Structures are given as structure tokens and as C-alpha cells.
Amino acid sequence: MAWLPDVLDEHGPAARMIWLMHEPPTGTSLSSANPASAEWGMAVRRFQPRLVVSGHDHRTPLRTRRWQAKLGRMACVNTGQTCKPPLDYAVIDCSEAGEPERIEVPAWGSTEVLDR
């Protein structure tokens, strides 16, 4: 992960707005312990993006009945789902230029809202 700070510095505050990740970062109730995503979990805690959106781990959100977790000001959401219809989706409304006042992520029958 030696390259990550340079990328974040190059892109400024926008690089800390929304991170899209295949697997949820480890250390939340949204994923089981996975050594492959432990490094990303450390990066998320260090750089504190406003929102982390992931999937991949389909069973943990169903087992824990949680698809979102707050880590301070930051929110993590796991929109992974089963292969059974109907398929769920999330629409992330973040339309302002710069840092938005509000981000809404509806999924799994409820909405995660991040206000500045």
C-alpha cells in the first residue's frame, strides 16, 4: 500500500469521498475475518474516506442482518446480496460539486444517511 498516499494526495479531498471496494474492509460487522481484505481495512481506518461501498461477502450481512456500519464519521456499507430474486441495488446520491452536505445510500429496505 505504499502507493496509496501518493494517489490520495494527487486527487485531494475527492479521493477521500467514496471508496468502492470488492470486499468489505475487515474489522466491521459487515464481513468475516479475511486476510485478503485486512490491508484495505487498515487503509480505511488510516485515511477515513467518507463512505466505503463493497459487496462480495454475501453471507455476513444476511447472518448479522446488518448492511451498514459507522466508524466515527465514516460509513461502510456492504450491498452484497444472494443470487435469489429480487436482486437488490443501492443508488448513491452524491450530486454536489466538492464535498456534499448529504449522502444517501438506500439498500436492503433502509437508508444509510451521512450528513456533513
Query: pLDDT, tens digit, for every residue of 21-44?
Result: 888 887 777 777 766 677 888 888
Instruction: From 27, 53, 57, 56, select the one nearest 39 (Cα to Cα).
Output: 27
Whether 76 shows a pLDDT value over 70: the answer reads yes
* Count of C-beta atoms within a 10 Å radius of residue 70: 11
Mean pLDDT of the chain: 76
The residue type found at 87 is L
Which pLDDT belongs to residue 42? 85
Q: Range of 93's domain?
A: 4-115
Q: Position 77: which residue type?
A: V
Domain count, the chain: 1
pTM (predicted TM-score): 0.76
Q: What is the mean pLDDT of residues 8-27?
A: 85
What pLDDT is stored for residue 70 in this prediction? 79
